Amino acid sequence: MKIKRITESLLDTIIYLSELFNLILNAFKNLPALKINPVRTVFFRQIYFAGIETLGKMVIIGLLIGIVIISQITSLVGVGRGELIGKILVWVVIRELGPLFAAIVIIARSVTAISAELGSMNVQGEIASIEMLGIDPERYLIMPRIIAITLSAVILTFYFELAAILGGIIVTSLFWGVPFEQHTAGILTSLTIPELSASLVKSLLFGLVISAVSCSQGLKVSGSITKIPQATTKATMQSLFFVFIFDGIITLIFFL
């Protein structure tokens, strides 16, 4: 019985992952639809909600995280190790915290909104009405959300990392007297192509997975509006699960 349950669980996971992959693949196939004004309007609305409105908070969080990290590193390795401090700051922020924090913020802000919105539209028959009008829901509803969330993840990751590094450098330069040149040397020697590539790949993959999961769960809501909270909870938990799984896989691929 246990083997049967494990096999069924694995099959369900594979089927679900294939559904997510198809949503992402179809989103890229439908990219030319961004030329259509209503689709472009949905896209920009999602960019504004997931990216622009969150940008200020992300920068503040990045500054605070950078200050905390640099304070701990300085107290650990000493004030005179500016180059090492810069290296560790890049390793921690660029490799891990930047993509992860951006993903978590997007999950907290956008996953519930997207899954609840699509779930409500499905329950009320709006998606069926769109299909009856000859409009492809994946082109009008899914594609702009997936592309917008993915771009927002990349943008938020970049600004978080920039704010964290600058915040850390400013604090140690002002309060610990660590020369700015030492930080610059450590950061420039550590800011290699693998570091930047890993950060970019993580933010892109996290954005794609998060948006696909939220859209998938929203589209599965049917029958009653009371199922919407269940869909948003599933979307949130599955997004977090996939983000941490893919984070570990990408780190292994790039740095081992």
The pair of three-digit structure tokens given for residue 123, joined into one six-digit string? 């329950």
The pLDDT value recorded for residue 182 is: 67
Q: Please name which of 26, 13, 7 lies closest in space to residue 215, comparing C-alpha atoms.
A: 26
- CA pair distance 154, 24, nearest whole angstrom: 16
Tokens of 146: 């997936």
pLDDT at position 242:
93
Total tally of structural domains belonging to the chain: 1
- CA-to-CA distance for 79 and 69, rounded, in angstroms? 14
Alpha-carbon torsion, ordered 11, 226, 109, 251, to 10 deg: -10
Nearest alpha-carbon partner for 218 in 149, 134, 133, 132: 149
Report angle CA 205, 34, 101 to the nearest 5 degrees.
30
Q: What CA–CA distance (Å, rounded) separates 208 from 1?
A: 35
The pLDDT score that the predictor gives to residue 78 is: 65
Torsion of CA 215, 219, 225, 229, to 10 degrees: -40
* Structural domain for 226, as ranges: 2-255
Contact (Cβ atoms closer than 8 angstroms) between residue 55 and residue 161: no
pLDDT the model gives residue 92 = 83
Rounded to 5°, angle at Cα 44 from 39 and 45: 95
Q: What is the reported pLDDT for 183? A: 67
Radius of gyration of the chain (CA): 21
Q: Please report the pLDDT score of residue 1 as a whole number.
A: 61
For residues 82 and 78, what is the distance between their CA atoms, to the nearest angstrom? 8
- pLDDT (tens, 9 = 90+) of the chain, 256 residues, equals 667 777 777 787 888 888 889 999 999 998 988 888 888 898 999 999 888 888 888 888 888 888 888 777 777 766 666 667 777 778 888 888 889 999 999 998 889 889 999 988 888 888 888 888 888 888 888 999 999 999 999 999 999 988 988 887 777 777 766 666 666 776 777 777 888 888 899 999 999 999 999 999 988 887 778 888 888 999 999 999 999 999 989 988 887 6
CB 167 within 8 A of CB 63: yes
Q: For the purposes of burial, counting CB atoms within 10 Å of the CB of 177, is it exposed (0-12), middle (13-18) or buried (19 or more)? A: exposed
Q: What is the reported pLDDT for 178? A: 66
Q: What CA dihedral angle connects 205, 155, 82 and 167, to 10 degrees?
A: -140
